[in-house]
Amino acid sequence: MTKYFGGLAAVNDVSLSVSEGEIVGIIGPNGAGKTTVFNLVSSVYKLTHGTVKFNNEDITNLKPHRVAAKGLVRTFQANVLFKDFTVLENILVGCQLQVETSMFMDLFNFRTVRAQREKIHAVADNIMEFVGLKNYRDELAQNLAHGHQRMLGIGIAMASHPQLIMLDEPVSGMNNEEKSEMMTLIRKIRDRGITVLLVEHDMRVVMGLCDRVAVLNFGTKIAEGVPEEIQNNASVIEAYLGADD
Amino acid sequence: MKNNSTTKKVIIAIVGLAAILLPVFSSDPYILHIAIAILIWSMLALGIRIVLVSGHLNIAQASFMGFGAYASGALAMKLGWSFWICLPLAGVIAAILAIIVGLPTLRIKGAYFVIITLGLSEVSRRIWMMWDSLFGGPQGLLGIPPPDAIKLGGLAIMFNSKVHYFYLAFVLFVITVFVMWRFEKSRTGLLLKSFPKADMLAESSGVYIMKYKVAAFALGAFFAGLAGSFWAHYFTYCSPWDFTLMASFYMLMYVVMGGTGSIAGPIVGSAVMLTLDELLRPFKEYMPMILGVILILVLRFMPGGIISIPGLIRDAVMRKE
């Protein structure tokens, strides 16, 4: 896939495939185009060239909410949350793909509407338990600690029951304890059969977590392989540390 | 928490009962007229608020009211249709217009959407002015028939006094409040409130934002259309000068004055401001100025609006103790 912003190729001819049940990391120096890749896959930006396929279905340039409906969701880099909603309300917004009644029906207190509300709340409870925020159910998102806010971001994404989840820098700004909690959570997500694609700067986390790693630099993919290969790849070392004269 | 909601219910019951019984206490047409105005303008203000909740400021609410009024008036006059058919049709027509306008424009955020609704209110005024044959040009529509009598068995309710209009307005008002309340309490309300905060996040959770925004816009317009239809048949007259940008500004002011945080806000805002408007009638020329000063004071000292006063007093008392 390729993306031009004006004349600048932010992502140039990068191709990447992720198989079911994998944890794949994308790394690279700042400005390498990692987040742009996410934005292209989730259709926040439109592709200049190329295609995005998911389960053998072409989802290139589909509207973002349609991409999510296909089972492909993402989190955002900063703590993008509904800050003055409670934790529960945040998760409920994430649950919307499981809602079956129409907006019009919701105006009335039909049995189906009530049954659905119970079902959705059960899903939300389950998610809060999963990301470890059950005790913060009625706390406003903005009052949570940084680490918990990131967990909530993942909770919102998980609430739509995705097949593939894209995590944008899940451990940024975290202390070591929070980092290992997050790593445990990401493994738990994979154990639920959900494929994980993540962008991360923290090498310890990437190397410890990922089955495969792709390295971007200046919008092109310079390497891909299992973590050990990447750690010893000359061009990767060059991209990070500069060329050895 | 529980206590709070019982208090609320009691207040709603008392106010509702007082409203229902108003014509018993006073058959003064002047008082009844003000009461009718409060009910109708509350409907319009509530329509502005529900769009505001989703992060958009609509200053063309008077235009939707106008389209309802003109649609209803023209259908009744040219085709001789009964008010009871024209009324819901006026709402539907206003809602369809809102969908047509909203689909391309509700993607636009912030000031740009406001400018578009500003344009809409000017365009709609022009349409009514220029289209003589249908809308009567600058004089408007004269001689719109009042609602036909409702026949219940042997009993016929004729619309020949303000009391009847009052009860009709009251019914429309109650329907509006009920629908708005359910709409906001349902998941749709939660979603609407989420959009101004992080619409990308909602979208990436699979929520088709436009669907909800357009629905809120159309709902607000629907009740504006009903209000317009009522207004036209109540006065038996409507003209382009009734549905100006200024009228929209007044509705918006009622919302802001009352408080945007809840459904009660726009209702309280309309009631207080319209009453004030009558009390200060001797100073009519200075009215916009007085209202402007009050608006600034409210925004400065109680951004939650008039309905936040009890809470503010409670806080002040608590602090003293």
A138 within domain boundaries: yes
Local structure of residue A11 (DSSP, 8 states): E
Please report residues of A whose CB lies closer than 8 A to that of B200: 44, 64, 76, 80
C-alpha distances out from residue A236 to A52, A111, A206, B52, B178, Å: 26, 59, 14, 50, 63
B300 within domain boundaries: no
User: Of A123, A146, A149, A130, whose CA–CA distance to A189 is shortest?
Assistant: A130
Q: pLDDT category, B3, cuts 50, 70, 90?
A: low
B188 within domain boundaries: yes
The shortest C-alpha distance from A243 to chain B (Å) reads 39
- Give the best residue of B200, B205, B210 to mutate against chain A (max A CB count within 10 A): B205
pLDDT at B120: 93
Q: Is the pLDDT of residue A7 over 80?
A: no
- Assess whether A47 and A166 both reside in one domain: yes
Residue B73 contacts residue B39 (beta carbons within 8 Å): no
- Assess whether A109 and A7 both reside in one domain: no
In this prediction the pTM is: 0.87
- Assess whether A238 and A169 both reside in one domain: yes
How many domains does chain B fold into? 1
Sheet containing strand A23-27, edge to edge, reads A72-74, A164-168, A195-199, A23-27, A212-217, A220-225
Alpha helices (H) along B26-110: 29-53, 61-78, 83-105
Q: pLDDT category, A67, cuts 50, 70, 90?
A: confident
How many domains does chain A fold into? 2
For the residues A84-106, what does the mean pLDDT come to? 84
A180 within domain boundaries: no
Contact assignment for B206 to A89 by CB distance below 8 Å: no
A181 within domain boundaries: no
Q: Residue A144 is part of a domain; what is its CATH number?
A: 3.40.50.300
A197 touching chain B per CB within 8 A: no
pLDDT digits (tens, 9 = 90+) for A221-237: 888 888 878 877 777 77
Domain range for A101 is 80-161
B207 within domain boundaries: yes
- DSSP letter string, A167-188: EESTTTT--HHHHHHHHHHHHH
pLDDT at A245: 52
B2 within domain boundaries: no
B268 within domain boundaries: no
Local structure of residue B144 (DSSP, 8 states): P
Q: Which of B179, B204, B209 sits opposite A73 (nearest CB)?
A: B204
- Assess whether A39 and A85 both reside in one domain: no
Domain range for B34 is 30-241
What number is the ipTM of this complex?
0.82
Residue A223 contacts residue A13 (beta carbons within 8 Å): no
A165 touching chain B per CB within 8 A: no
- Assess whether A128 and A204 both reside in one domain: no
B47 within domain boundaries: yes
Residue A202 contacts residue A179 (beta carbons within 8 Å): yes
- Assess whether A54 and A166 both reside in one domain: yes
Please report residues of A whose CB lies closer than 8 A to that of B209: 65
Burial of A106 (0-12, 13-18, 19+ CB in 10 A): buried
B7 within domain boundaries: no
- Assess whether A166 and A245 both reside in one domain: yes
Q: Which residue has the tokens 């369809």?
A: B96
* Highest mean pLDDT, choosing among A28-37, A103-112, A197-206: A197-206
A150 touching chain B per CB within 8 A: no
